Amino acid sequence: MDGPAPGERRAGRGAIAAAVAFVVLGIAFRGALAFPTHKYPADADCLNSGLVALRILHGRPQAFYTPRRLGALECYVHAAAFEVLGVGRPALAVAPFVSGSLALVLWAYLALALLGPVAGPFAVLLLALPPPAYALWTYMPNTYPETMLLCVAILAAAVRLARRPAPDLLGLVLFGLAAGLGFWNSIQTLAATLPALVWLLASRGRELFRARAVGIAAAAFVVGALPWIAWNVLVPFGTFRGNFSVRPAGGAAALAENVRYLAAYSIPELAASLDPEGGPNPPEAYRKAMQPVVLALWGAAALFALVRAAAWARGRISGAHGPPPRDSLLLLSGGAILLFATVSAAGQARGLTVRYVLPLLPTLVAALALLLAAVWRRSRFFAIALAAIVLVFDVGGAFLPGSPARRLWEAKQETDGKLMAFLAGNHVAVVLGDYWAAYPVNFLSKERILAVPFQEGADFYEVEKSLPAAPALCAVVARTRGELERLSRRTSLTGSLTEVGPEFFVLVADSDTEPRTLLARLREAAAEPTAEPAGGAAP
């Protein structure tokens, strides 16, 4: 059989060179998002992963980061980074940066293999500088970087298996291990595993789905998912208790509302978010003007991909034979995550829930890359111009150094330092307050200070059980002075109120107090309706 023509070889080498350059650009972009370190927009959740890592370092193995739902895989990387760099934010930023960078490397392999020498590099570039919502949720230490890494790894391993003339041991092990680790880390990765199995069955079912190959892949899966399996043996099927991600949506009306929400919020937010934090960062005028154009491009790309899929389906119905198109793997994966977001009770959650559909982005990127490749064949200038519109919009919404959002989170990190110095200087033993304000103290103090939230369901690591029975010096924290003043009046708690930094206040009790009793009083007071205006005399 003749090899590739010289022109094809040159195009292939050019595509690889472009993809490598875009990967380097994407790694630099992720480095700029992560460093210099700063407070994260979802800081309490992010620092919880560090808290779990501390417990791992103290000889207490953990299976989950969010109890019963998200695996602690990332936390073991944090623990290793803590051993090398010391406990702190710089070490905490390592795992998501590494995971995001590795995901981009694997995506480059996947894109070139599935999309070809023109669309492939476009796809690498579009994920190297991704939409703002994706960039936000995958640069923080919250397990989503690992979820995306494992989704891409599963698909890449499936492509390796499909491209080999015969099933190879390494490919089977890689596929099974990635799928197992993914299952432990997040059930979301089934949106990659199940479509990959369907695609492999349709592409090379006779060779791959034999007893030996299935046994090897299954054994590797068990190794990867072993923490999940062990925990569910010790606590029989404990991950299914109170876990909305494994419950079905509540009826036809809920399904219809989930579909509406996907179309109205989740997909537009994923593709072209103006402010992924949901309000604190007013977008620049140029980005507001660009958003309709960017959304139109993503919509045209989705329509282009669906038309291509429909054409293939018509050919199959009319009697055409052969394996499915290579890029159908990404279409299947995108369809799986949309199905999950529709039929699962997780799809009924509202708020900043775009993170539940992050695995859809590679499918959208592939669709846009294929559209740009089609335009490229007619006008290279126009294709580059369309890609530039998307990339300018995306980069402009990222929390890069020097941006207003980044400066705000850097200032809030300085407040954290002042807070810890203040608490240590006043010999505070227990901190109470709203989850977002209080719970980070557990990690920031390396668990030397116990911090318990008012919200009972938010004490994920049962810190309350460790509260001392004897009186101790307690402090209450809040992000507004008015909140602390109201709590002080309602509980008759007296003490000194101090502003330790912008939008952060501490009330240190005048004397030692029994923490559990004070916590109960504060919870009752916090639950009372707020009918009084903010302000008033300080206690």
- Give mean pLDDT, residues 68-97: 95
Give the separation between CA 374 and CA 379, rounded to whole angstroms.
9
- Report the percentage of the chain scoring pLDDT > 70: 94
Instruction: Give the ranges where 35-72 is alpha helix by DSSP (H).
Output: 43-57
Residue type, 357: V
The pair of three-digit structure tokens given for residue 217, joined into one six-digit string: 């892949």
Sign of the C-alpha dihedral, residues 483, 489, 493, 497?
A: positive
∠ CA 134-341-228, nearest 5°, is 85
Q: b/e map of 256-294 (b: 16 or more CB within 10 Å)? A: ebbeebbeebbbbbbbbbbbbeeeebebeeebeebbeeb
pLDDT of residue 236: 84
Residue given tokens 């978010």 in the structure block: 273
Prediction pTM value:
0.92
Q: Which of 89-103, 335-349, 509-523 comes out lowest in average pLDDT? A: 335-349
List pLDDT tens digits, range 34-80.
Answer: 999 999 999 999 999 999 999 999 999 999 998 778 999 999 999 99
- Give mean pLDDT, residues 492-521: 92
Give the separation between CA 171 and CA 220, rounded to whole angstroms.
11
List pLDDT tens digits, range 301-342.
Answer: 999 988 888 877 776 666 555 566 778 899 999 999 999 989
